Structure 1
Amino acid sequence: MAIHPEIAKILATLPAPDGSPLNPEAMRAHEESMVAPLEERLPLHSVEDLTLQTSAGQVPVRIYTPVEAETYGLLVYFHGGAFFLGSLDTHDHVARSLARETGHKVISVGYRRAPEAAFPAGLEDCYGVVRWAAGQGQRLGWDGKNLAIAGDSSGGTFVAAVAAKAHDDGFAGITHQVLFYPSLDLDFDVDRYASLRENAEGYGLETAGLKPFNSFYLESGADPADPLVSPIKREDLSGLPPALVITAEYDPLRDEGELYGYRLKEAGVDATVSRYAGSNHGFVQNFSWIPEFHRAFRETGDFLKRD
């Protein structure tokens, strides 16, 4: 189907890329300026900001409790932003919707970003928070069942990498992984996946922009050949947690996400690949107010209910 008309309206207003160098500080400031005021955000039982002491050091988090209850499943969330953008605030609405639609207590991670923090700082922060959550069940009101991880775009990269690190460390506590239009191959050879050419221009995220947007991360020491940087390069995917991979029809990264899901299945992992027709990269963050795309949160909730 064609790109959703509401998305098309927004895309028509975007200026064409002019090739100017990216300015992280200015781009972050612009993102933060778009954050909705607190009174306009989805209300939940409680939202609490904390700084945790983890194996990676101190990490800021925001904990979302959807309703008052005795126990909860836990969902640790890693925001997107090409490893240098995004924050607890810019993705606050995503975490709130995840909490509301899944019924889980959501722990959103304010991990260190490139270029200020070199690889693997952000990844270690995410992993450290997952291990912290696993050891804080009583404090968090954990029901002892689900300890899920979820992330969008580069946050999806961290989901796959954290799941792999946990497996290799012998930590079996992660029960589910949810990847929204993940970036799983940071080798940006345009002939590697058909979607890099099919969706190269005109849909928000453009194939030509992938290399410069990810350059801050790669120049900080992240090697695209490393499976913790490009998780699709991991040879053995067996033993990883059940996965839900949600992709967007008009996304240059669509095919690598779907291939990863299919490879998980081939390795014996319970994996579901769900493509959202008419959507583009970033739709969970940017267009979840459209009912067809808000469904991604409900699909996540349904996935977390599966045994």
Structure 2
Amino acid sequence: MTLHPEIAEVLASLPEPPPGPLDPVAMRAGEEAQVAPLDERVGLHAVEDATAHAETGDVPVRVYTPSPDASGLLVYFHGGAFFLGSLETHDHVARALAKETGLVVVSVGYRRAPESAFPAGLQDCYAAVRWAAERYGSGGGTLAIAGDSSGAGFVAAVAAMAHDDAVTGGHSDRITHQIMFYPSLDLDFDIDRYPSMRENAEGYGLETAGLAPFNAFYLDSGADPADPRVSPIKREDLTGLPQALIITAQYDPMRDEGERYGARLSDAGVETTVRRYSFANHGFVQNFSWIPECYQAFVETAEFLAGRHAR
């Protein structure tokens, strides 16, 4: 299938990026300027900002309650190459997840590079899961974690950390599901590592040549691509991890690493569903959720969490 015509139209209209090094402050401001006004966002029973208190410091979070009787919990980590994205830029994603799943959604405003060195952001995500589980509780029910792109990489890393913590006698609540939208799982950007790195190198928004500079802030802060906390696909033992839904995009340089990780999870005995959106590019859940075919990813997530998802 070809790229969705509405996505292709938007990509064709994008200006050339400015020359010179990336400017995190300017890029963040540009993202924030695109956020829809509050009255244009999906309405829910309650949306409130809160603070997750952790040993490593306070973490800002936003809590989405879809209905008065909502139960179960989903903790969401936004994407943005570890230096972009925020509670605001991904507010519409969290709202859609809450609306479709019926779960309480906690979106995490973790610390970002370059201001905060590795593993600050990852620590914040893990701490927020612990805090949310203690405050809202899964009641033995659903405790899911979800994320897109680099946030999906945090999902894989947090799932492994929680598993290891429980195995070694920690007090982490048991994560029941992990959901990854077009995940960033391997920060070794060798163009020959995955066929999709060459197939989708140019013309689809995220380009292969841009992966290294966009992730440089994170890597330069001390994140080692050989570390499984940075590149979760490098973790050797995947047994015992939570059941997984991995959604990839046909026109994404990172498509194949997500699908390979899904295959490895399945080989390790983890119940895993991998879905490739054949008309989409990287970032479609955030950037094109207004297109019905893209919004389907939220519906599919709800079906997965409800146990109605065909493998």
TM-score range, shorter chain: over 0.9
Is the contact made by 1:134 and 1:173 (CA closer than 8 Å) also made in structure 2?
Answer: no
1:1-307 to 2 correspondences below 5 Å: 1-17=1-17, 19-69=19-69, 71-137=70-136, 142-170=138-166, 171=172, 173-306=174-307
- Following TM superposition, the consecutive aligned residue runs of length 4 or more in structure 1 with deviations greater than 6 angstroms are none
1:17 and 1:36 map into 2 onto residues whose CA distance is 23
Cα distance in 2 for partners of 1:137, 1:80 equals 24
SS at match of 1:144: coil
1:127-178 deviation digits (Å, cap 9, x = unpaired): 001111222236xxx4430010000000001000000111111145100000
Identity of aligned residues (%): 71
Aligned residues of 1:245 and 1:258 also touching (Cα < 8 A): yes
Q: Secondary structure at the match of 2:140?
A: strand
| Aligned counterparts of 2:195 and 2:16: Cα–Cα separation in 1 | 23
Is the CA contact (8 Å cut-off) linking 1:288 and 1:294 kept in structure 2? yes
CA contact (8 A) 1:137 1:144 kept: no
Instruction: Give the structure-1-normalised TM-score.
Output: 0.96
Distance in 2, matches of 1:7 and 1:216, equals 28
Query: Offset at 1:15?
Result: 2.5
Residues 187, 230 of structure 2: 8 Å contact kept:
yes
3-state DSSP of counterpart to 2:164: helix
Which ranges of structure 1 fall in alignment gaps of 5 or more residues?
Answer: none
Size of the aligned set, in residue pairs, is: 303
Distance 1:185 1:49 in 2: 32
Contact 1:193–1:256, Cα closer than 8 Å, also in 2: yes
CA distance in 2, matches of 1:31, 1:200: 23
Aligned counterparts of 2:19 and 2:29: Cα–Cα separation in 1: 20
Amino acid at match of 1:9: E
Return the offset for 1:56. Answer: 2.7
Shift of 1:20: 2.1
* One-letter amino acid of the structure 2 residue matched with residue 255 of structure 1: D
Which is worse superposed, 161-170 or 129-138?
129-138
Q: TM-score, normalised by structure 2?
A: 0.95
Amino acid at match of 2:228: P
CA RMSD of the aligned region, Å? 1.2
Q: Name the SS of the counterpart of 2:142 in structure 1.
A: strand
- Is the CA contact 2:160–2:241 (under 8 Å) kept in the aligned structure 1? yes
Query: Residue 61 of structure 1 contacts residue 110 of structure 1 at CA under 8 Å; is this kept in 2?
Result: yes
Q: Which amino acid aligns with 1:135?
A: E
CA contact (8 A) 2:74 2:106 kept: yes
Residues 94-113 of structure 1 show CA distances to partners (whole Å, capped at 9, x for unaligned) of 00000000001000000000
In the alignment, residue 142 of structure 2 is paired with which amino acid?
N
**Unaligned regions of 5+ residues in structure 2, if any?**
167-171
Give distance in 1, aligned partners of 2:133 and 2:103: 14
In 2, Cα distance between equivalents of 1:159 and 1:223: 17
Q: Distance in 2 between matches of 1:59 and 1:41?
A: 24
Distance (Å, rounded) in 2 between the aligned partners of 1:56 and 1:250: 38
C-alpha contact (below 8 Å) 2:61/2:107 kept by paired residues? yes
